[in-house]
């Protein structure tokens, strides 16, 4: 807790809570996951060309002493900020895949979970995503996390009530 602000324990939160398990414990949700084990669809895996480009671009900047790079994460990690430009190349948050190979982007469902729009794993608890992946990435990247808004309102409410009472 910071003042009146209630913060979650950062050690209890990691990407494992929002990533598709890909082991059959979650039903497939097309177009994001497919098959008996609900594996993430191949379209979210970076192309060989894009992956090579991101690696070489990051290396050029590293050699110049700049901080640019892609964000490669696994289930035990925490995430960088999701931005509205995520649809371009996904470089801020790239998910390591089991075994060798290219990383993948988050699916729009995972973005929904990351930003706190899903209220559970049941279909009825999922935020409806009726737009294209590009639009979903832009909208989630521009969104404010609902729990943050709730916490701000919780802190402001007594002050607003006091002002209104005068």
**How many other CB atoms sit within 10 Å of the CB of residue 38?**
20
The pLDDT > 90 percentage for the chain reads 53
Range ranked top by mean pLDDT from 64-78, 91-105, 151-165: 91-105
The mean pLDDT of 119-133, rounded to a whole number, is 85
The pLDDT score that the predictor gives to residue 104 is 96
Band of pLDDT at residue 1, cut at 50, 70 and 90: very low
pLDDT band for position 3 (cuts 50, 70, 90): low
Gap between the Cα atoms of 116 and 127, Å rounded: 9
Q: What does the alpha-carbon distance between residue 104 and residue 94 come to, in Å, rounded to a whole number?
A: 6
Residue 2 has pLDDT above 60, yes or no: no
Question: Which tokens go with 157?
Answer: 């409410």
Mean of the per-residue pLDDT values of the chain: 88
| Chain Cα centroid distance, residue 127 | 14
pLDDT of 41 higher than 70: yes
Q: How confident is the model at residue 143 (pLDDT cuts 50, 70, 90)?
A: very high
Instruction: Note the pLDDT tens digit of each residue in 82-112.
Output: 999 999 888 899 999 987 789 999 999 999 9
């Amino acid at each position: 807790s910071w003042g009146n602000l209630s913060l979650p324990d950062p050690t209890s939160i990691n990407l494992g809570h929002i990533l598709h398990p890909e082991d059959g414990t979650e039903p497939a949700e097309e177009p994001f996951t497919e098959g008996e084990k609900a594996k993430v669809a191949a379209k979210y895996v970076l192309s060989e060309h894009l992956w090579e480009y991101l690696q070489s671009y990051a290396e050029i900047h590293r050699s110049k002493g700049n901080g640019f790079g892609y964000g490669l994460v696994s289930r035990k990690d925490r995430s960088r900020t999701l931005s509205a430009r995520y649809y371009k190349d996904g470089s801020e948050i790239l998910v390591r895949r089991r075994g060798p190979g290219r990383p993948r982007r988050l699916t729009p469902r995972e973005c929904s979970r990351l930003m706190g729009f899903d209220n559970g794993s049941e279909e009825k608890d999922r935020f409806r995503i009726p737009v294209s992946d590009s639009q979903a990435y832009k909208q989630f990247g521009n969104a404010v996390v609902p729990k943050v808004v709730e916490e701000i309102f919780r802190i402001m409410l007594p002050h607003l009530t006091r002002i209104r009472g005068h």
